Amino acid sequence: MFTTQLLDVVTTAGVLYIVALGLLIVYGVLKIINLAHGAFLAAGAYAGVVTTELGWNPWTAPLLAFVIGVAVAALVEWRVLRGLYARPLDTILATWGLNIIVVQLITLYFGREIHFAESAIGRAINVGGATYSEYRLVLLLLAVVLGVAVWLVMQRTQIGIVARAVIMNEELAQALGINTGLVRFVTFGLGAGLAALAGALLTPLISVHPNLGVPWLINAFMLVLVAGVSLANLALAALVLGGAQVLVSSYGNPVLGSLTIVILAVVILRFRTITI
Amino acid sequence: MRERWMDHRSRSLAVLLVVLIVAMVPAGAVQSQDKKPIVIAVPVGLSGVNSVVAPAVVQSGELAVEEINAKGGVLGRKLQLVPLDDESGPAGAVKAFNTAIRQHKADTIITMETSAARNAGAPIAERAKTLFIYTSFYEGRACGKTLFVNAWVPEQVVPPLIKFMTDDKKVKKWFAVGSDYAFGRGMIEAAKSTIKGVGGTILGEEYQPLQQSDWTAIISKIRAANPDGIIYSTSGGGPNIDFMKQFKAAGLKMPVGSLSIDELTAEAGGNAAEGVYYTGDYFTGLDNPENKKFLDAMKKKFAAGLKTPNSLSEPEYDGVYAYAMAVEKAGTTDAEKLVQVLPTIVFKGPRGQVQMNKQHHAPLPVYLAQVQADGKTKVLKSFGLVDPGNQCPKLK
C-alpha cells in the first residue's frame, strides 16, 4: 500500500510536470498565459489517433504531435500574437480564441465522439512488491528526461542564454542587440510543441475527444502560477500539489482531491513572498 | 384635411394579402383532415452534449416514418417527422417543445433527450394535451398523464447484471465506482441495493468528479480493498474508457460490470474495455429477424451517412411504430383517446416485444453483453422481459 501510494504521488507529479512544461516556457519568456494550451494538448492526442489509423508505431505519435504543435504555433505567432505583445491582456483573448478555433476544427474533422489511439504500453509490472502501471513509470522517466533536456537547453546553449536574458530583462536584451522577436517566435513554437507532445503522451491514460485538454489546462495553469518561471519550482509544485491531490483522494475522497490543487495554489500564492 | 388612410404601396400590399388569404382558403379546405400529414416532432440534442447520438435518433425516426408511409400511412394520412434542436438542455427544450406544438402543430412528440430537457418539456406537452413518448433510458420515476416511456429504467438493467456476476462470476465482495453526478450515483445506489439483496458485501464506494480524468487514487483504493468484482457507472462516453484504460494498465484483473458503457464507446476504446459485462435492451448484434431487417433498411437508406444505431436511438423507431399503431387502432390523433389505447399496443421490433402497459413504462427484453478484444460487443444471453417495477403508482 505504501509503495503504491508513493508511486501514485511521483507518477502523478510526473504527468502534471509534462503537461505544464509547455505552458511554463511560454509564460516565462513571452509573459503570457497561453490559454490555447488545452487545444494543443487535444491536437497532440489526435496525432495519436492519426498514427493509429495509419498503422504507425505508437511512439511516433508524440513526435508527430510535436511537429504539428510547432507548425500551428509558428503560424499563429507570426500572424496573430506578434502584433499583440504590447497589449498583454489582449493575448489572453487571442489565445483563448485560438483555443476555441483549434477545438472546433478538430470537432469538424473528427466529430465529438471519442477516438481510439493505440497505446505503446498497456501492462503492469512489479515494482518493490507492488504491481504498478508500467506506462505511468515510463511517463515519470519522460518527465525527468524532458525536464533535464529543457534545463540543459536553457543553461548550456546559445538559444537558452538568449532566452534567459529575455526572461530577466527584455528591454535590456533588446538594447544589446538580441532579436527578441525571434526568441518569442521560437519559444512559443517550443511551448506549443511540448503541449502537443504531452497530449500524445496522455492518450494511453485517457480517451481522446476534442475537449480533453480543459481539465489539464486548469491544473497546469495553477502549477505555473505557483512555480513562476523556474523549472525546478515547477517540479516542486507538481510534487507538492499533485502529491496532495493523490493523498487527499486516497485518505479522503476524489471530490475533495480535485479541489486540493486549486486550494493549495491559492494558499501558496497568498503566502509566497518571493516575486518572479 | 386628414391624410389618406393608406398610401398607394400599403394599399397594394393589403390587396395582395387579401388575394393570398382568399387563395389559401380552398387550398386549406382541400388539405383538410384526410390529407394533412400527422406531425411527429423530435426535439433532440442536435447541439450540446447529446449531439453525438442525436443524428442516429433522427435517422431511426426517419426510417420508421418512411416505412409506414410506404404502406399508405396511418388513417390515410402520411406521417411527417420534424426534428428540432433542444440544445441538450432545459432552456432549449422549452423552445423546441413550444415550436413543435405552436408552429408545427405537432400531433405527438417522440424523442430521446437529457433528463433536464425532458423535465422542462414534458409539462409543456401535457398542458397542450400532446402525447409525449420518451425514448431514452433514464433514472426513472418521470410521470405524466400524456408521458410514456419505452426505454429502460435502472430496475430493468441493474439487477440482471448484478445477479449474473454474483452467480456466474462468483462475485461476493464488490467495489463500486461512479462519476459524481445524479445519474452515476443513482445507478450505483440501485446496484448497491441489489448487491445487498443477493447477500453480497460492498468493500468500497468511490466517486470521481466529472471533469477529472485521472483515476489513479481510486484504482489504488480498489487494489488495496481487493474485491472479487467491480461495478461502475461513469458519465457516458469517454470516462468509461479513461477508467478502463487505467484499470487495465494497473494490472487489475477482476471482472467488471458497467452501468454506463455503450456499444459505440466500447468500440471507440479499442481493447480498453475488453471483458467488461453490461446489460441493455438493444445491441446491433441482437440475433432476430426484426433487428436484421431494421439494420439492413438503415444501411440501405442512409448508406455512407449512417450513424450506427444504438440503445439510445433504436427506441425512437419503436416509438414511432407504437404511435402509428395506436392512432390506427383509436381511429384518431386525439391524445386523450390515445392515452387509453397506447398501453394496449404491442410492437415487436428490433429489441423484441415492447408494450408500454406498466404505469406508462414498458417491460423490456434485457440482454447481457460483453466487450470483445476488438472493442465490438457480443450478446451473451437474454434475460427475457424484465418489469420496470412501480415507476408511477398513480397511473394505470
Q: Are residues B162 and B259 both part of a single domain?
A: yes
Name the residue of chain A whose CA is nearest to B239's CA.
A207
Q: Is residue B95 part of a domain?
A: yes
The secondary element (H helix, E strand) that includes residue A265 is helix A254-271
Please answer whether residues A142 and A194 qualify as being in contact, where contact means their C-beta atoms are separated by less than 8 angstroms: no
B51 vs A: CB within 8 A:
yes
Residue A132, chain B, CB below 8 Å: the answer is yes
Structural element, H or E, at residue B206:
strand B201-208
Instruction: Output B337-342 pairs: Cβ under 8 A, ≥24 positions apart.
Output: B338/B108, B338/B131, B339/B131, B339/B145, B339/B146, B342/B131, B342/B148
* Residuewise pLDDT in 10s, chain B (396 residues): 444 444 555 556 555 555 555 555 544 444 445 579 999 999 999 988 888 899 999 999 999 999 999 999 999 999 999 999 999 999 999 999 999 999 999 999 999 999 999 999 999 999 999 999 999 999 999 999 999 999 999 999 999 999 999 999 999 999 999 999 888 898 999 999 999 999 999 999 999 998 888 999 999 999 999 999 999 999 888 899 999 999 999 999 999 999 999 998 999 888 999 999 999 999 999 999 999 999 999 999 999 999 999 999 999 999 999 999 999 999 999 999 999 999 999 999 999 999 999 999 999 999 999 999 999 999 999 999 999 999 999 986
d(CA B396, CA B390) in angstroms, rounded, equals: 10
Question: For residues B342 and B356, is the Cβ–Cβ distance under 8 A?
Answer: yes
Please work out, in degrees rounded to the nearest 5, the angle formed at the alpha carbon of residue B236 by the alpha carbons of B233 and B238: 105
Residues B43 and B134 in one domain: yes
pLDDT at B51: 86
Query: B191 near B278, Cβ under 8 Å?
Result: no
Other Cβ atoms closer than 10 A to B169:
15
What is the H or E stretch that residue A245 is in? helix A231-251
Could you tell me if residue B47 is inside a domain? yes
Domains in chain A: boundaries:
17-213
Cα end-to-end distance, chain A, whole Å: 39
Tell which of B246, B262, B280 closes a domain: B280
**What CA–CA distance (Å, rounded) separates B254 from B211?**
26
- The count of domains in chain B is 2
B339/chain A closest Cα distance in angstroms: 37
A52 → chain B, closest CA residue: B270
The answer to whether the CB atoms of B237 and A115 lie below 8 A apart is no
Find chain A residues with C-beta within 8 A of B237's C-beta.
Answer: 113-114, 207, 209
Q: In a 3-state reduction of DSSP, which class is residue B368?
A: strand
The reported pLDDT for the residue numbered B29 is 45
Q: Which residues contact A114 (CB under 8 A, 6 or more apart)?
A: A207, A208, A209, B237, B238, B241, B265, B268, B269
Give the type of residue at B347: F
Residue of B214, B223, B245 lying closest to A4 (CB–CB): B223
B138 in helix, strand or coil?
coil
Residues 57-86 of A with CB under 8 A from B: none
Residues B162 and B265 in one domain: yes
Is residue B10 assigned to a domain? no
Bridge partners for B205 per DSSP: B176
Cell 511516433 sits on residue: A60
- Residue at which a domain ends, from B233, B258, B280: B280
Asked if B359 and B342 count as a contact pair (C-beta separation under 8 A), the reply is no
Look at residue B23 in the predicted model and tell me its pLDDT.
53
The CATH number for B96's domain is 3.40.50.2300
Chain B nearest CA to A32, separation (Å): 25
State phi, psi for A42 to the nearest 5 degrees: -65, -45
A-chain residues near B265 (CB < 8 A): 114
pLDDT of residue B17: 55
Give the angle subtended at the CA of A144 by the CAs of A141 and A146, to the nearest 5°: 105
Structural contact between residues A197 and A145, judged by C-beta atoms closer than 8 angstroms: no
SS3 state at B334? coil
Residue B317 lies in a domain: yes
- B148/B159 same-domain check: no
> What is residue B30's predicted lDDT score, i.e. its pLDDT?
45
B259 & B291 share domain: no
| B273 and B319 assigned to the same domain | no
Q: Which residues span the domain enclosing B148?
A: 38-152+285-362
* Domain-embedded: residue B213: yes
B331 occurs within a structural domain:
yes
B210 touches chain A (CB under 8 A): no
With a cut of 80, say whether residue A6 has pLDDT above it.
yes
B5 in a structural domain: no
Distance from CA of A223 to the nearest CA of B (A): 16
Q: CB A114 to CB B269 under 8 A?
A: yes
From A88's Cα to the closest Cα of chain B, the distance in A is 29
* Interchain CB distance below 8 Å, A11 and B208: no
The candidate with the shortest Cα–Cα distance to A42, out of A224, A191, A234, A216, is: A216
pLDDT of residue B3: 47
Same-domain status, B180 and B233: yes
Cell 451473451 locates to B380
CA distances from residue A10 to A142, B60, B88, B315, B372 in whole angstroms, order as listed: 12, 49, 40, 48, 34
Residues B338, B238 share a domain: no
Please report the residues numbered 63 through 92 in chain B whose beta carbons come closer than 8 angstroms to any beta carbon of chain A.
none
* Vertex B248: Cα angle to B245 and B254 (nearest 5): 130
CB atoms within 10 A of CB A145: 11
Q: Any idea what the Cα angle at residue A175 is, between residues A171 and A177, rounded to 5°?
A: 120
How high is the mean pLDDT of chain A?
91
Average pLDDT (A88-102) is 92
Last residue of a domain, one of B241, B262, B280: B280
- Is the Cβ of A1 closer than 8 Å to some Cβ of chain B? yes
Residues on chain A touching B209 (C-beta within 8 angstroms): 254-255, 258
- How close A240 gets to chain B, by Cα (Å)? 16
State the pTM of this model: 0.85
What ipTM does the predicted assembly reach? Answer: 0.87
Look at the block and give the residue holding cell 510547432: A70
Kindly report, residue by residue over A245-268, the tens digit of the pLDDT: 999 999 999 999 988 999 999 999
Grid cell in block for residue A34 = 497561453
Cβ contact B251–A253 (<8 Å): no
Label the pairing between strands A130-133 and A124-127: antiparallel
**Nearest CB to A254 within list B218, B241, B246:** B218
Grade residue A75 by pLDDT with cuts at 50, 70 and 90.
very high
Same domain, yes or no, for B254 and B268? yes
B377 is a domain residue: no
3-state secondary structure of B184: helix
- Is B271 found in the same domain as B302? no
